[in-house]
Structure 1
Amino acid sequence: MEAGHKAATPAFIAAVSDALKVDMSELYGQLYRGDTPSTDRVHQAIPDLRRALAWSDPSPELEGPPRSLKVLASELENAKRLRRLARHVQLGASLPAVMEELSFHAHDADDPRVRRLLSDAFCAAGELSRRLGYSDLADSMFKEAARFAVLSRDPHLPLIITWRRALVLMNHGALTAAVRLLERCTTMIEEGRPGDVEVSGALYLRAAVLAGRLGNAGSAWDHFEQAAEISARAGRPHLDEYSTYFSPANILIHGAAVATELGDYDEAVRRDAAISLNALNSLARERRSHHLIDMSRVHMEQGRNKQALSRLLTAERVAPQMTRYHPFARTVATHLQDRHRVLSEDLRGLVARMRI
């Protein structure tokens, strides 16, 4: 790695993060900032998101009357759509006002429905913050989401907040703690309640990937098989009430992800080949792009640079903003750039758009 012949794997970065007690985002060089307002647009919403977080406890001072809960719920559904599309700029622009107006409603009435909407809004803000490298802000957002989740009277909602926070713990280098937390949450599922299949399945899938990054193959595949069995017993449904995309196709790409994290690249390629185009296209762009980025890592590790670049370019077409700001994608692009004296037009264009 030091000589530049191999790219640092996420597992290696996580180990260094834990040893040095620094956030993984620092080791990846985040934040990825632009030089002009146009190239830095993805970060412009961060100050407004911080303000919305500050107003979550005291009643916010609005410039006018808040919109109705029906309208705000519709706005939040649109925010979820933008998140599935990985449209970071548009998502960031839409969230702060919704968060502040929902906070106003929360101070005006003790309504579990408002708390559920607030939890969802803070979750969306936390996800965006984490993706852009603001781990501390993401953690604060998820803690606030957890507070509102408890008040929503949905026993599964706090578990989903933990499912999301586990990635922040990972960024802090606390992989073992993240896996244990997810495992504990799987014991708290209320079977027979709405959402039990989706939430339990999602928890096991995330635990599988993080255990894989730790190098615990037995634990990783055990968790993966648990998720697959939960889906099979329920009739292999497509579930997204909690924005987890729990479906047969999502399980398939998680299988490839587990193999990738374990460094079993032949198995990752085998599992990837078994995923049909229809299955891949059934996934949200966010998930599809992430899988393509994972597979670009696999091809890079196996020395198939042409295939690695092809997967990255496809990921960019599927979700441009996510790909250009994703640390793994940028790691692959940087490695490919370093390995070629003369860059192809495609690679030169990609690194230019990433501003590497």
Structure 2
Amino acid sequence: MGTASDAAPGTNLALIRKERGLSQVQLARMANISVSLLSKVEVGDRALTPTVAATIGKALGLSMAEVLGRARVEEVDEARLTALRSAIRDYDLPGRAQAEEGAVLDAVGAVRTARDAARVHQVLARLPELLRNSTTYAHAQDTAEAWMLLAEVYSSVYWLAARHRWMDMAELAVTRQRWAVEQRASPLGEAIAARDRAGAYLNGGDADGGLVIVDRAIARAEAALSGQERAFAVGVLNLRGMTLAGRLEDKTEGAREAERHIASAERAADEWFSGGDANRHSMIFGPQNTTTHVLATRLDLGRPQEALAVAENLDTVLDGLPATRVAPSRLNVARAHLDVGDREAALTNLSAAWEVAPQMARIHPTAREVLRVLSSLHRRSNPELLRLSNLAGMPL
């Protein structure tokens, strides 16, 4: 997996630079960013954004995830992680014992629940056995539904790996996911697999490549599906597309691409999901989740005021969405407030993210980076910052 780090992203960047024997001037020149920006990021006056992390990573031959820093797992989870790696390797080796349908379905449902609640430890605890059982079940049944179920389990493996920035596992998971849906034709499954594959490009810092994956998948979904299923597939792909567009280095091109995906997603959401967001195979699409992605995209495009305008009715937008969407949205609002200089609002939203999804917040790069910058900028002791730093394992 490579070196894991408890450091916040900006601190991790400084460690990487020093390990390479580079000065700030040298690295800034290599990455074509200002020395002032790099200095502010390293000392904690500015947050390291995903776009800047990707730019620096490209200059250093690293993925964006490596610059942000891979998250550690607790000692109790090491054996589970080893078991998960083993199960991924055995993707085409079904077990000898029969996998009971009811038990497999119950286990998939339990992982869906844990994932929606952002209970990272529970997802990791359940995945190794579930992956083996769902593999056995898919090989035995050999139906589109059984293979789609296995693909969903691999999607959860990707989700877990991406949250920790374990890019080797994430990329292997999306390869296995694609393999599973190809065993029996499943256009919706192929769209979801493409969405996750594009996510691997996103976390690797290759937004351009991810957009190619998304656009090809949208064309296939539009040709193969119809009705609400088509709208759902195209919708989740457009959500990924707008996020990728926001991470493009060329922000003019990024804005143009983002608006294209935003318009398409909003049309599908308004036409087919006006009654509320749909949750299928651990994917969510509808007006509310579209709004959370627009918020994140505006922020990534360097437009924090526009992001805050999108977040004006945030409580309504987030009502009923799972913790996996609520916490990142709160973190994005915290980052936007930080960008415009409102530290108190940033801290309020950071605390809200910790409250709804503490396990995710502890490993989320934005949560750790916002906490680092707030701690650096605060000129006096703050009990809430101290509480969060203890929860995050980040000394002030």
Please tell me the TM-score bracket, short chain as reference.
over 0.9
Given the alignment, which residue of 287, 296, 320 partners 1:248?
Answer: 287
Shift of 1:199: 1.0
Shift of 1:115: 1.2
**Aligned counterparts of 1:223 and 1:194: Cα–Cα separation in 2:** 18
Q: Is residue 220 from structure 1 mapped to residue 220 from structure 2 by the alignment?
A: no
Given the alignment, which residue of 230, 233, 239 partners 1:199?
Answer: 233
Q: Given the superposition, is the C-alpha separation of residues 317 and 196 from structure 1 closer, same or farther in structure 2, using an over 3 Å criterion?
A: same
TM (normalized to structure 2)? 0.83
CA contact (8 A) 1:257 1:294 kept: yes
Q: Deviations over 1:148-191 (max 9, x none)?
A: 11123211211211101212112222110001211111111124
Moved over 4 A (4+): 41-44
CA contact (8 A) 1:297 1:308 kept: yes
Task: Pick the structure with more helix per residue.
Answer: 2
Give the number of aligned pairs. Answer: 347
Q: Given the superposition, is the C-alpha separation of residues 205 and 113 from structure 1 closer, same or farther in structure 2, using an over 3 Å criterion?
A: closer
Aligned partner of 1:59 in structure 2 is 94
Q: Given the superposition, is the C-alpha separation of residues 197 and 42 from structure 1 closer, same or farther in structure 2, using an over 3 Å criterion?
A: farther
Given the alignment, which residue of 290, 296, 309 partners 1:257?
Answer: 296
Q: Given the superposition, is the C-alpha separation of residues 347 and 165 from structure 1 closer, same or farther in structure 2, using an over 3 Å criterion?
A: same
Q: Is residue 46 from structure 1 mapped to residue 81 from structure 2 by the alignment?
A: yes
Q: Is residue 170 from structure 1 mapped to residue 202 from structure 2 by the alignment?
A: yes
CA contact (8 A) 2:241 2:261 kept: yes
Aligned partner of 1:335 in structure 2 is 373
Q: Given the superposition, is the C-alpha separation of residues 48 and 33 from structure 1 closer, same or farther in structure 2, using an over 3 Å criterion?
A: closer
Identity of aligned residues (%): 24
**Aligned counterparts of 2:388 and 2:154: Cα–Cα separation in 1:** 32
Three-state SS of the structure 1 residue aligned to 2:91 is coil
Given the alignment, which residue of 143, 148, 163 partners 1:111?
Answer: 143
In terms of mean alpha carbon deviation, does 114-123 or 321-330 score higher?
A: 114-123
CA contact (8 A) 1:295 1:311 kept: yes
Shift of 1:43: 5.1
Q: Deviations over 1:214-262 (max 9, x none)?
A: 1211110121011101122225242222322112111111221111111
What is the one-letter code of the residue matched to 1:156?
L
Aligned partner of 1:15 in structure 2 is 55
Shift of 1:109: 4.3
**Aligned counterparts of 1:313 and 1:297: Cα–Cα separation in 2:** 12
**Aligned counterparts of 1:106 and 1:286: Cα–Cα separation in 2:** 28
Aligned partner of 1:154 in structure 2 is 186
What is the one-letter code of the residue matched to 1:355?
G
In terms of mean alpha carbon deviation, does 306-315 or 191-200 score higher?
A: 191-200
Given the alignment, which residue of 288, 296, 305 partners 1:266?
Answer: 305
Aligned partner of 1:128 in structure 2 is 160
Q: RMSD across aligned C-alpha pairs, in angstroms?
A: 1.8
Where do 5+ consecutive residues of structure 2 fail to align?
1-36
CA contact (8 A) 1:195 1:241 kept: no
Q: Given the superposition, is the C-alpha separation of residues 278 and 102 from structure 1 closer, same or farther in structure 2, using an over 3 Å criterion?
A: same
How do 1:290-301 residues align onto structure 2 when only pairs under 5 Å count?
290-301=328-339
Q: Given the superposition, is the C-alpha separation of residues 261 and 13 from structure 1 closer, same or farther in structure 2, using an over 3 Å criterion?
A: same
What is the one-letter code of the residue matched to 1:58?
L
**Aligned counterparts of 2:90 and 2:73: Cα–Cα separation in 1:** 27
